[in-house]
Amino acid sequence: MGVIISKLIDGVKYPARRIRSGIYSLPFLSNRRYCPVCCTSSSHFRKFGYKPRKDARCPHCNALERHRLLWLYLQKKTDLFRKKSLKVLHIAPASCFETKLKEHLGDNYLTADLNNPNVMVKMDITDIKYSDKTFDVILCSHVLEHIPDDRRAMRELFRVLSDKGWAILLVPITSDETFEDPTISTPEGQLKAFGQEDHVRRYGPDYIDRLREAGFAVEMTKIKDLVNRKEAVRMGLTPESGDIYYCTK
């Protein structure tokens, strides 16, 4: 409540922007939901998705279910926030992470994407233009399901990861086993077969086998391994959050 009142008071100084911000936030006043990414409480998360999911997106930082789970994992299970010397490659970075990681890591943080003009480097992860063992950490979430030759991309990620480094490579698991068909190439066909117009496959639990074929040792972490049921509900962690795939050499 104090944050909202402060915004409304600041409206004297910045009338239009501050008042709009305060009024917009009023419907979310509560502590029923908590976002671990921006450390903000609200009454509920917003709907989001092709088929809108309730309680999905944080109204303050736009973090989705998978972002909140990943952030918890990074905090609880890795040394990312204890070391500023780690050289991090962040592929297709979510906006809710980017500023925080840049502030923490400085010049050791590199964002990359093939199509997004706002990242630091244009990168095709099936042909990464960096030397072997360049990065200590690689973060790649919900990217591989867009890439026709995902196995080649996995091998490239393995190649540029340092010997003592780690990568978190997340994909949506939406099938009993991985299904792909390169003859399905239209947006309409991909939507019907793979659930999204720019997806080229549905991954199953055998996704982990592909990571291992690329050379990775893989450790999988579930929601229940990080928080109890009550905490999971408050943070909006659902099956849509997926699992964490922690990959090392």
Name which residue leads in pLDDT, 5 or 216: 216
Q: In the prediction, which pLDDT does 15 show?
A: 47
242: alpha, beta or left? (left if phi > 0; alpha if psi -120 to 50):
left
CA distances from 192 to 50, 150, 186, 195 (A): 12, 20, 10, 6
2-10 helix and 15-25 helix, angle to the nearest 10 degrees: 160
Domain with CATH 3.40.50.150 in the chain: 64-248
Q: In the prediction, which pLDDT does 202 show?
A: 98
Strands of 161-170's sheet, edge to edge? Answer: 121-122, 109-113, 88-91, 135-141, 161-170, 244-248, 217-221
The model's confidence at residue 224, banded by pLDDT at 50, 70 and 90, is: very high
CATH number for the domain whose boundaries are 64-248: 3.40.50.150
> Over the stretch 24-62, which tens digit does the pLDDT of each residue have?
444 555 679 999 999 999 999 999 988 899 999 999 999
**What percentage of the chain has pLDDT greater than the value 90?**
85
